[in-house]
Amino acid sequence: MIGDSPKSRYEEGGQQRMFDRRNFLRRGAVATGASAFLAAHSAKADAGPTPSHREKPGGYIDAHSHVWTNDERYPLLSPGSPASVGPPTALPEDLLKVARPSGVDRIVLIQPGGYGFDNSFMLDTIRLQPTVFRGVAVVDWHKDHPDAEMRKLKKHGVRGFRIYPDRVPSPPSFDGEGFQKMFRCAAKEQMTLTLLINPDELPIVPKYCERFPETPMAIDHLGRIGVEGPIQESDVKALLALAKYPRVKVKVSAFYALGEKRPPHDDLAPFIHRVYNAFGPQRLMWATDCPYQIQHETYEDSIALVRDRLSFLSSDDKDWMLRKTAEESFFKA
């Protein structure tokens, strides 16, 4: 999630955790009526029964969205609740109702920061619809055996784990022993580590690509380049430098928070073109960052940029970016 910012922290068990969107988005007040907004979209989008992705035209995959509930069985942490900066609920059924009219019928769920290390709601969502959802979980890399938890969660539809650099002590790094175990486990189990990282931290990533060359990694939201102002050439070069490492992929996502921050997002096309030229479509995957994305624009506004507006993409390129890259990373057995 674009604003699940490492810059803001809450404390859990003496360890620093950072899960606040507001400091990173810096876009003013968030719509407080977002649950009604979701309901309105759901009512319009309900197209009835949906065939499997193998039968339906499109069959696209949203590689990055979030779900949460106000059900007391799944308590949110406080502060840091995603509902404090997003809709009170972000239910899987509402997500599917806005996604399906755009040809999206599979979704990679990213554990929201407000649940901390309790992945229960995401796991239960996957359990109920295992062919529709896969998960990217969060585990505590400061504990002794995060790798054991990774292997355990893999049995329940989790195919990746979200990490961000430790910043205490500085400078930022993934040097802790827990991180090292996660990198090694991800390589052995072929699970993707998704990096929630700021643009000025991209230069630390090559060190770990070289140390763990078989570990699949994905950079969230184009490295969040362009969130806090104009897209900087130095940041773009830092992202493109990662293309030399074949196990690194990039999520082309969260357009609502990048650049000019308004649809149709044509201002991002030159930046995305450079990323495409460096990585190739087989290492790029589109995603929305719902439900945050649909507070600012429609779901269709996001997918339309890749599907309809990037003239340099061939039909095969779009198939990779909208389906096959995420499928290979998260939906293979």
Task: Domain ranges for the chain, please list them.
Answer: 10-331
- pLDDT of 77 reads 84
For 218, the 3-state DSSP assignment is: strand
Give Cα separations from 255 to 126, 239, 264 (angstroms). Answer: 26, 17, 9
pLDDT value, residue 188 = 98
pLDDT given for residue 51 in this prediction? 39
Euclidean distance between the first and the last CA atom of the chain, given in angstroms as a whole number: 25
Q: Selecting from 3.10.129.10, 3.30.830.10, 3.20.20.140, 3.40.50.10490, what CATH number does the domain 10-331 have?
A: 3.20.20.140
ω into 171 cis (within 30 of 0): yes
How are beta strands 158-163 and 192-195 bridged, if at all?
Answer: parallel
Position 167 scores a pLDDT of 84
What's the pLDDT score for residue 170? 82
Kind plus residue range of the DSSP H or E element containing 137: strand 133-137
pLDDT at 196: 95
Rg (CA), the chain: 18
Residues 109 and 133: their CA atoms lie apart, in Å, by 7
| pLDDT recorded at residue 15 | 35
Instruction: Give the ranges where the chain is alpha helix by DSSP (H).
Output: 22-25, 34-45, 92-99, 120-128, 146-154, 177-189, 205-211, 233-240, 269-279, 299-304, 315-319, 325-326
- Determine the angle formed by the axes of helices 269-279 and 233-240, rounding to 10 degrees: 20
Listed as ranges, residues in the chain with pLDDT below 50 are: 1, 3, 5-56
Nearest to 253 by CA among 202, 218, 280: 218
* Cβ atoms of 221 and 198 closer than 8 Å: no
pLDDT at 81: 64
Residue pair 107/62 in contact (Cβ under 8 Å)? The answer is yes
Element counts in the chain: helices (H) and strands (E): 12, 10
- Confidence at residue 80, expressed as pLDDT on a 0 to 100 scale: 53
Tokens of 98: 């806005």
| Residue 82: per-residue pLDDT | 65
Q: What is the pLDDT of residue 22?
A: 34
pLDDT at 14: 32
Distance CA 196, CA 92 (A): 23
What pLDDT score does 2 carry?
A: 66
Helix (H) or strand (E) holding 162: strand 158-163
